[in-house]
Structure 1
């Protein structure tokens, strides 16, 4: 960062840390600059001009004065909030999980407008969703694609043959995120066993539009299985343990 230069950005709050008696450091994801880390001075004071605006998952129009290692937020105007997420514990945790993924896979100062727009549209949809997990899985698949991880859910990742229908023993590769046929399971490792119904859900969600997800039907047990597999794959890619969803493990 260049000291004293000011930038304007539309950014969502993904994480924050207390620092000192009155300040907080924020991890923000912006449309223009990707990840930004900046301090909001005096935000913990009762009369702070930033009070409430920089809460988790709030989107703001910011002016940030750049420093050598850390920016300083000098202006903050509310742009978008998602009030319904805070009324549903599961939706809130799932939404924070998406923020965790952004922080794991995005770089500071690197604009990624498509991912920013994907995140905002997904959060808007989750607010009204009857089954939020469908939207989370859809986001993960689209997010991985935007990052360049092109999963193949119709052909075997090893032999490249089309995977037969009604096959109850397939593999999901934790190395490539693609499908492995039953025959090739014998010659590889690092996979999770899935069946044809899981494969079909993954393939359908890869191509469906977000506006059609409200009509997408899938059994809860299959969605939970898919989420477990995708979480393990994402952990493998990032070489980090994904923490947010651990509240659902018990």
Structure 2
């Protein structure tokens, strides 16, 4: 059938013509989809509210030769708590770009959809630890995408890494022991506790993330590990990650 229905989160929305926009959607039913929404920039458009970035909406799409098109759409959740707060909307923009970059079109991936939907709900809440939730999202999305770093055994020799200082290499895919520290030129050393927190974030109940007490220095180390790793494996630095660095992280 030419028409099909999906529930989706708007990852990206960019202008195509004066009144049209191209949407990148992450749907529960069909994974990542690109579609054109005709006329949504017009003030009178009923679709306008449902196609804003980070909106969770129901779409009726028409399958086209190159791009599908939005026939109807209705908002389910706008996450209004994000939009009045610079911190939250900046991080939400990063989460959306990361999801877009780590997802393939037409590859059904319900896990990534529900992970992003959960995180958007959580960072919209008052008192949310947005930075730590972002680290949790990063490591979990990498796990879903098959890119999760090795955090237990040395990627060089395979032995458990139990020293108080742990080497980490983005290019070789995870932790390295002291003997294998020359395995790559990008090995950096971190306290063992920092890597243990990263492992904890992979398994911890997302709704209880604020219970994990992480000092500023360790937060900086977690961000450094994840950003270097993500940039290496995606082969680019995300624009929203650069924006966050300029906005918050001047060390």
TM-score normalized by structure 1? 0.92
- Please, which moves more after superposition, 154-163 or 102-111? 154-163
2:124: which partner in 1?
A: 127
Partner-residue secondary structure (3-state), 1:11: strand
Query: What is the CA–CA distance in structure 1 between the aligned matches of 2:103 and 2:244, rounded to whole Å?
Result: 25
Once residues 191 and 130 of structure 1 are traced to their aligned partners in structure 2, the CA distance between those partners, rounded to angstroms, is 33
Computed over aligned residues only, the root mean square deviation of the Cα atoms, in angstroms, reads 1.6
2:227 aligned with 1:226: no
Q: Find 1:214's aligned residue among 210, 214, 221.
A: 210
State the match for 1:182 in structure 2. Answer: 178
Q: Deviations over 1:99-137 (max 9, x none)?
A: 111111111111100110011011111122432111111
Q: CA deviation at 1:174?
A: 0.5
Cα distance in 2 between the residues matched to 1:212 and 1:21: 44
Q: Secondary structure at the match of 1:160?
A: coil
Alpha-carbon deviation of 1:150?
4.1
CA distance in 1, matches of 2:113, 2:231: 21
Q: Gapped runs of 5+ residues in structure 2?
A: 247-251
For 2:185 and 2:122, how far apart are their aligned partners in 1? 37
Unaligned runs of 5+ in 1: none
Counterpart Cα distance in 2 of 1:153 and 1:120: 26
Report matched runs for 1:43-82 at 5 Å. Answer: 43-82=40-79
Alpha-carbon distance between aligned partners in 1 of 2:228 and 2:93, rounded to the nearest angstrom: 17
For each residue in 1:181-208, what CA deviation from the matched residue of structure 2 results, as whole angstroms up to 9, or x when unmatched? 2221134333333221211211221221
Which piece of structure 1 moves more, 205-214 or 52-61? 205-214
- SS of structure 2 residue aligned to 1:171: strand
1:107 and 1:188 map into 2 onto residues whose CA distance is: 29
Structure-2 separation of matches of 1:101 and 1:176: 21
> TM-score normalized by structure 2?
0.91
Q: Secondary structure at the match of 1:53?
A: helix
Q: Is the 8 A contact 2:103 2:145 kept in 1?
A: no
Aligned to 1:199: 195
Structure 1 range deviating more: 235-244 or 148-157: 148-157
Distance in 2 (CA, whole Å) between partners of 1:221 and 1:90 is: 20
> 1:241, 1:203 → 2: CA distance?
23
